[in-house]
Amino acid sequence: MTTTLDPIELPEIDFDHAPSREGNREIQFREALREAMSEEMRRDKRVFLMGEEVAEYNGAYKVSQGMLDEFGAERIIDTPISENGFAGLGAAAAMYGLRPIIEFMSWSFSLVAADQILNNVPKMLYMSGGQWGCPIVFRGNDGAGGQLGSTHSWCVEGLYSNVPGVKIVIPSNPYDAKGLLKTAIRDDDPVFFLESERMLGDKAHVPEEEYYIPFGKARLVREGDACTLVSFGRPVHFCVQAAGRLAEEGIEVDVLDMRTIRPLDIDSVIESVKKTNRIVVVDQCWPFASVASEVITQVIERAFDWLDHQPLRVNTEDVPTPYAKNLEAAYQPNPDRIVAAVKKAVEA
């Protein structure tokens, strides 16, 4: 019987093939995501996209625009407002050979699916004695989207990265978004893919060809020897802006875009710290038990003697995300706060 699940031989991923970031094929972040999903769906019939508004409406944020027309309603699937429901359905589909991509309109809404995504999906392989993996991608908007209020502005990476068994990807630009999402779809473990509503319209050159970016490899965005700036996701841009301003004052810093939180490329951080002897971690989550805390802990464990200043963090303030525009801006990491932190580390 011919089914959509006939075994598929996929070409092996060549992570060494990394086309240039330079070029003039400028597309939006959301288009890069769409391209990644569409390329994988054309090749592998087991891959499907499910979530609220993904089909007829073309995606609440137009990430899946046109995908219903190309792939049909069997593979681009609108759901009721039922996050726990479609997360659980996706988990089962993954356990039995399909490759689901589940879109949460916002990661804030994943909280009502917590049992499925934290208590079932990441433990499936372990609890079945290594038998059932759960190759599923959950993706959606993470972080303050711009005056969405406290309940709709979650940064889940702090909470979710505490759970073993998941991989957490958080791209900062369209080029990485495409390559990382393709890797996520091909990965045999569950992947949480965190996008940002504030970046979906960002444009950059994205190669038309296929490429994959390995997990656990940070990208050195800018080089310097005064301090190591570590970040991931949207705040990487704030770090780059801050680095530009610092350079005008003669302070050159390394800016590392981690790209994945789990696995965490701590080796690249350590390598940079051994050169700069100072570190500032910029993280759009709350400070307590955050990814920034974890990065700093690991730096202290592995490079304590190399530090000339105590590690510093720039997190959001330790309060619920404010609604008012000015307050939301003040609450988040921003270039001003990053510049101040680097100066404190450097001038000591």
Of 77 and 346, nearer to another protein (C-beta) is 77
275-314: which residues touch another protein (CB under 8 A)?
294, 297-299, 301-302
Choosing from 152, 210, 294, 328, the catalytic residue is 152
| Sign of the dihedral through C-alpha 328, 333, 334, 339 | positive
β-sheet bridge partners, residue 50: 77, 102
Q: Choose the stretch contacting another protein; rule: CB under 8 A; options: 77-85, 138-146, 218-226, 326-334.
A: 77-85
Please name the helix (run of DSSP H) or strand (run of DSSP E) that holds residue 38, with its range, or none. helix 29-43
Cβ–Cβ < 8 Å for 196, 32: no
In angstroms, the Cα distances linking 269 to 142, 179, 227, 239 are 24, 22, 11, 15
Cβ–Cβ < 8 Å for 56, 72: no
Cβ–Cβ < 8 Å for 41, 71: yes
- Alpha carbons 19 and 317: distance in angstroms, whole number: 39
Residue 159 touches another protein, criterion: CB under 8 A: no
167-226: which residues touch another protein (CB under 8 A)?
167, 187-189, 216
Of 30 and 262, nearer to another protein (C-beta) is 262
Min dist CB 194 to another protein, Å, is 19
Q: Select from 130, 288, 305, 348 the one that contacts another protein (CB under 8 A).
A: 130
Residue 89 touches another protein, criterion: CB under 8 A: yes
Q: Token pair of 58, please?
A: 């073309």
At residue 253's C-alpha, the angle toward residues 19 and 337, to 5°, is 110
Residue 228 touches another protein, criterion: CB under 8 A: no
Min dist CB 259 to another protein, Å, is 15
Phi, psi of 319 (to 5 degrees): -140, 160
Choosing from 52, 83, 197, 328, the catalytic residue is 83
Residue 165 touches another protein, criterion: CB under 8 A: yes
152 is catalytic: yes
Q: Choose the stretch contacting another protein; rule: CB under 8 A; options: 90-98, 232-240, 308-316, 327-335.
A: 90-98
237 is catalytic: no
β-sheet bridge partners, residue 168: 192, 262
β-sheet bridge partners, residue 167: 191
Cβ–Cβ < 8 Å for 186, 211: no
Q: Which residues are catalytic?
A: 83, 152
Binding site for another protein (CB under 8 A): 1, 3-5, 74, 79-80, 82, 84-93, 95-98, 112, 115-116, 119-120, 125-131, 133, 135, 164-165, 167, 187-189, 216, 263, 266-267, 270-271, 274, 294, 297-299, 301-302
